[in-house]
Structure 1
Amino acid sequence: MIPISILDLAPVIEGGTPRDSFRRSLDLAKHAEEWGYRRYWLAEHHNMPGIASSATSLVISHVASGTKTIRVGSGGIMLPNHAPLIIAEQFGTLDALYPGRIDLGLGRAPGSDQLAARALRRGLGSDGHDFPEMLSELRGYLDPSLGTGMPGVRAVPGEGANIPIWLLGSSGFSAQLAGQLGLPFAFASHFAPDFLLPALELYRGGFRPSEALERPYAMVGINIIAADTDAEAHRLATSQQQQFLNMIRGRTGMLMSPPVDDMDQLWTPQEKAYVQQQLSFSIIGSRNTVKEKLQALGERTKADEWMIAGQIYDHDARLRSFQIVAEVMREL
């Protein structure tokens, strides 16, 4: 069975609060642990009212403290927003609190708009171009034998911690870098489907074995919204479609809206085509539909693990969706 994991954006719904989001995230993580999910990752985003996981390390600790065995981590920390030493210390602390359960997924995008990026960085000098150097410095703090940390500076906690580092990406840059460094790679096809197969080819073709990993390990992020019927799943999916529609219209990070019966009342034909293209690797449907499409996608991608996102307004429906996926995976 291919391992399955969850990517959570800690969505804030209309009429809800971040506190509600954190409560729901922990509840989902507890159920995911029971259903056999391997990881529960949270994403760093800023200046987005509809996403509550901006202080990602804190939310990771919240989820890890309320679970027992599931791995908890970042999908991802946007490294250009932070000093590498700070991330080494934060994740070193998490590893000390929850040993053997913490993952560090890293991305080079800002996870925000330009105004928020400036507020985070006090300037725009770090725009991701120096991501390989920042990554090298961070790895040097965790493993001083690499000799890539700043001389005379130690990460405490952090030094010597065995924290798996993943590179995340939606293009070929991180795929190539992960392959060169022999690190596991996660591709965000849940919002960048066009580059999935080329990125996987780059990663696998350029992979060099390392102490971290002997052979390539590719995780594929996909949207899955499952329900007891195809019709209900498609109705639930309209909340996510509205989120992408808001992005097109420059209203990024709006509170999650309840599902609607007819999206054609909300979008133009051009907007519909764009949203459907961005969500082209999404799987929406009943148990049988999910099983058929996930099996076909597995044959195309040869994914080693699935990272599943599911932006669903109603919490009980969200739980049911991830439960159905877990049941389907046991049948494949």
Structure 2
Amino acid sequence: MTLSILDLSPIVSGATAGDALRNTIDLARRAEGFGYHRYWLAEHHFAPGVASSAPAVLIALVAAATSTIRVGSGAVQLGYQTPVAVVEQFGIIDALYPGRVDLGLGRSGQRRAELASGRGADKTGNTQDTSAEQPRARIVDGLLIPPPFDWSRLAQDPRLAFQASLLQQPGAQTPDFAEQVDDVLAFLNGTHRAHAVPGEGADVQVWILGSSGGQSARVAGERGLPFAANYHVAPSNVLEAVEAYRKAFKPSKTLAEPYVVVSADVVVADDEAKARELAAGYDLWVRSIRTGAGAMPYPTPAEAAAHVWTAADRKLVADRVDTRFVGSPRQVVERLNVLRRVTGADELLITTITHDHLARVRSYELLAEAWNRP
């Protein structure tokens, strides 16, 4: 069982993007020493509290600062770039750091465009019926599966459509996600009519990331690619995502059997009380995302405590807060083992955000030590 890291390069209150990026490079170096397998960078736009808006650039910087840990994207949003541009970017990184690069692909950009268009598609690609009775939280073999988050209100926010328009050239239309993935694979293996240099023949491992049992899971399975399911972003859909991927899986030159990574939000400290103190601010940070403002600079515990919460606020963030893994090393390892067992994950992708950078580093260190302890 392997542990890996997903980093958003969070900008905390009182700090700058430069501080966040230097912290990312520092954490990657330390994570390599702790024994983590991969270090992935996310792609987020228009978020005052996130510095990872250009993952290929940041991946190259992390690769240069490390020597053995795999580096990659979690994930490149294909809705905003052409396949050849993505392959060329990652081909350059692979040319300098061969055999260490993961190219994680996601359709988040396309999904945002669907939401902005007013079609109100949810994470499964279906239009939500907000008048119907919504599912309740359930426990599956010890794992909390909360009700799904309703994206319909956020979809009506005009900021979403405006931001989406800034990420593409005027009049640009994004092809189907499956077609884009096929183009990426063709450019990499040299079967495309055009040749991407650098890129063609690169030793890049392609991944698909998904938050539901929809197209992303099916594309990954049908092409025999490894799949990353988002428990930390969409915990309500993780089981259906993994099931859909495995059901669609066909052996390929890449994989003989399905390979699943599942993500989790984690904060570890020497004891539970300290961990919960460090974890403060997460609910307010999630609220800023789900109100359409974009991820705010991550608040201090004191700043978080000053916020006056309403019942609607609590409901807005409950699924993310309730599925976070916070506690002592032993507590968190026990709960992560439940996540691994229930989802059948081959690997866990850990994302940790605290206001204090050294506390975040220490959280990863404590987790690695506890995970590897007999």
The letter for the 2-side match of 1:176 is: R
Question: Following the alignment from structure 1 to structure 2, what is the Cα–Cα distance between the partners of residues 22 and 262?
Answer: 23
The letter for the 2-side match of 1:66 is: A
Matched with 1:202 is 244
Describe the SS at the equivalent of 2:370: helix
Question: Following the alignment from structure 2 to structure 1, what is the Cα–Cα distance between the partners of residues 308 and 369?
Answer: 34
Percent identical among aligned pairs is: 42
User: Once the 2 structures are TM-superposed, how far is the Cα of residue 247 of structure 1 from its aligned partner?
Assistant: 2.1
The answer (yes or no) to whether the contact 1:193–1:279 under 8 Å persists in 2 is no
Matched with 2:216 is 174
Question: Following the alignment from structure 1 to structure 2, what is the Cα–Cα distance between the partners of residues 262 and 44?
Answer: 25
Matched with 1:165 is 206
Residue ranges of structure 1 left out of the alignment (5+ in a row):
none
Describe the SS at the equivalent of 1:110: helix
The letter for the 1-side match of 2:188 is: L
1:301-320 equivalences under 5 Å are 301-320=343-362
Describe the SS at the equivalent of 1:7: strand
Describe the SS at the equivalent of 1:96: helix
The letter for the 2-side match of 1:61 is: A
The letter for the 1-side match of 2:53 is: S
Matched with 1:96 is 95
The answer (yes or no) to whether the contact 1:235–1:261 under 8 Å persists in 2 is no
Q: Note closer, same or farther for the CA distance 1:23–1:217 as it changes in structure 2 (3 Å cut).
A: same
1:122 pairs with 2:169: yes
**Cα-to-partner distance string for 1:178-230 (whole Å, 9 max, x where unaligned):** 11110000011111000001111111122110001110000001101111121
The answer (yes or no) to whether the contact 1:229–1:286 under 8 Å persists in 2 is yes
Matched with 2:183 is 137
Matched with 1:224 is 266
**Cα-to-partner distance string for 1:281-317 (whole Å, 9 max, x where unaligned):** 3201111211221122222111100000111110010
The letter for the 2-side match of 1:5 is: S
User: Once the 2 structures are TM-superposed, how far is the Cα of residue 280 of structure 1 from its aligned partner?
Assistant: 3.4
Matched with 1:87 is 86
Matched with 2:66 is 67
User: Once the 2 structures are TM-superposed, how far is the Cα of residue 114 of structure 1 from its aligned partner?
Assistant: 2.9
The answer (yes or no) to whether the contact 1:239–1:311 under 8 Å persists in 2 is no
Question: Following the alignment from structure 1 to structure 2, what is the Cα–Cα distance between the partners of residues 75 and 115?
Answer: 24
Residue ranges of structure 2 left out of the alignment (5+ in a row):
113-159
Matched with 1:24 is 23
State the Cα RMSD in Å: 1.8
- Which residue, 243, 247, 253 being the options, matches 2:285? 243
Matched with 2:150 is none
Q: Which runs of 4+ in 1 moved over 4 A?
A: 261-265
The answer (yes or no) to whether the contact 1:245–1:267 under 8 Å persists in 2 is no
The answer (yes or no) to whether the contact 2:84–2:196 under 8 Å persists in 1 is yes
Matched with 1:293 is 335
Question: Following the alignment from structure 1 to structure 2, what is the Cα–Cα distance between the partners of residues 287 and 217?
Answer: 26
Matched with 1:269 is 311
The answer (yes or no) to whether the contact 2:207–2:226 under 8 Å persists in 1 is yes
The letter for the 1-side match of 2:221 is: G
Matched with 2:275 is 233
1:215 pairs with 2:238: no
Question: Following the alignment from structure 1 to structure 2, what is the Cα–Cα distance between the partners of residues 26 and 294?
Answer: 26
The letter for the 2-side match of 1:34 is: G
**Cα-to-partner distance string for 1:10-62 (whole Å, 9 max, x where unaligned):** 11111111111111001100110001000000011111121111121111111
**Cα-to-partner distance string for 1:117-174 (whole Å, 9 max, x where unaligned):** 21121247545x61111111111111123xxx3x2x2100011112110000111121
Question: Following the alignment from structure 2 to structure 1, what is the Cα–Cα distance between the partners of residues 177 and 338?
Answer: 34
Describe the SS at the equivalent of 2:204: coil
Count of equivalent residues: 325
Q: TM-score normalised to the size of structure 2?
A: 0.83
Q: Note closer, same or farther for the CA distance 1:265–1:254 as it changes in structure 2 (3 Å cut).
A: closer
Matched with 1:282 is 324
Question: Following the alignment from structure 1 to structure 2, what is the Cα–Cα distance between the partners of residues 301 and 123?
Answer: 41
The answer (yes or no) to whether the contact 1:85–1:138 under 8 Å persists in 2 is yes
Question: Following the alignment from structure 1 to structure 2, what is the Cα–Cα distance between the partners of residues 166 and 177?
Answer: 10
Matched with 1:13 is 12
Question: Following the alignment from structure 1 to structure 2, what is the Cα–Cα distance between the partners of residues 267 and 97?
Answer: 49
Question: Following the alignment from structure 1 to structure 2, what is the Cα–Cα distance between the partners of residues 86 and 228?
Answer: 45
The letter for the 1-side match of 2:366 is: I
Describe the SS at the equivalent of 2:5: strand
The answer (yes or no) to whether the contact 2:231–2:238 under 8 Å persists in 1 is yes
Matched with 2:145 is none
Question: Following the alignment from structure 2 to structure 1, what is the Cα–Cα distance between the partners of residues 77 and 173?
Answer: 11
The letter for the 2-side match of 1:244 is: V
Question: Following the alignment from structure 2 to structure 1, what is the Cα–Cα distance between the partners of residues 240 and 64?
Answer: 38
The answer (yes or no) to whether the contact 2:4–2:350 under 8 Å persists in 1 is yes
